[in-house]
Amino acid sequence: MTRSCGLRTAFGDVADLIPDGPPGERDFVFRADTLPSVPATVETDRIVFKKASRCYNSWYRADLLMLYVENEPARLLGIFLLACAFHRPARATITLKDPGSDLRAIVYRSARLEADDPPVGLSLLPFAFRYYPEVTRKHPWWNETTVLDLPLLALSNADDCATTDDEWLARHRVRRVIATRNGASRRAPSERRMFMEPGTGV
């Protein structure tokens, strides 16, 4: 069966330039001018999510997302996320076409920044991300202590509102939620080493 990946069409030229190793020998600098613009929608049948949940103490229910992806589409997904961080499209969607995937889409959204009406507090925009290959670890964030600097994937639905149990169970898309800018940038390069590893964080 022939598999398709619109991420390859959109970001394949950049993916071919990024070094695989050996660790520390060659780098690649991601900037707005080295990343292509982000298509509003791309389709792929090479990314699969399975969803489950865990209950703690009989009253707290948490999502468990399991990501199944091979090396090449994982790298392309990472580039997509970095391109979103640098270009800040209002909305970008990856439609997941594999019939075995429990989720149907990955949705990135960003609020528009206006110079004459910025949000309260400090506003930051990315300048560059310098990437070196490193030795792959099975659990790259195992010893993290600053939880807010970790990236997060959140399940949602088309309305971003699940109030009933049926709506909660029927959520079918991943909405990217980032606690900090550091969390956003750390998720993208790690896509390369997330092959078949379950996790709740994009």
When comparing pLDDT for 196 and 67, which is higher? 67
Mean pLDDT of 3-9: 88
The reported pLDDT for the residue numbered 47 is 95
Backbone angles phi, psi at 8, to 5 degrees: -65, -40
Q: Other C-beta atoms within 10 Å of 153: how many?
A: 20
- Residue bearing the bigger pLDDT, 97 or 184: 97
Q: What is the structure's pLDDT at 1?
A: 57
- Contact call for residues 71 and 195 (beta carbons, < 8 A): yes
Mean pLDDT of 44-55: 93
Average pLDDT, the chain: 82
Residue 125 has pLDDT above 90, yes or no: no
Instruction: Note the pLDDT of residue 27.
Output: 92
At residue 112, the pLDDT reads 82
pLDDT of 61: 87
Q: How confident is the model at residue 4 (pLDDT cuts 50, 70, 90)?
A: confident
Q: What is the pLDDT of residue 190?
A: 45
What integer pLDDT is reported at residue 176 of this predicted model?
59
Residue 2 has pLDDT above 90, yes or no: no
CB burial string 97-133: b at 16+ within 10 A, e below: beeebebbbbbbeeeeeeeeeeeeeeeeebeebebeb
pLDDT value at position 109? 87
Tens-place pLDDT, residues 130-170: 998 888 778 877 777 777 777 778 888 888 888 888 888 88
pLDDT in tens, 66-100: 999 999 999 999 999 999 999 999 999 999 999 99
pTM confidence score:
0.82
pLDDT higher than threshold 60 for residue 188: no
Per the model's pLDDT, the better-predicted residue between 7 and 140 turns out to be 7
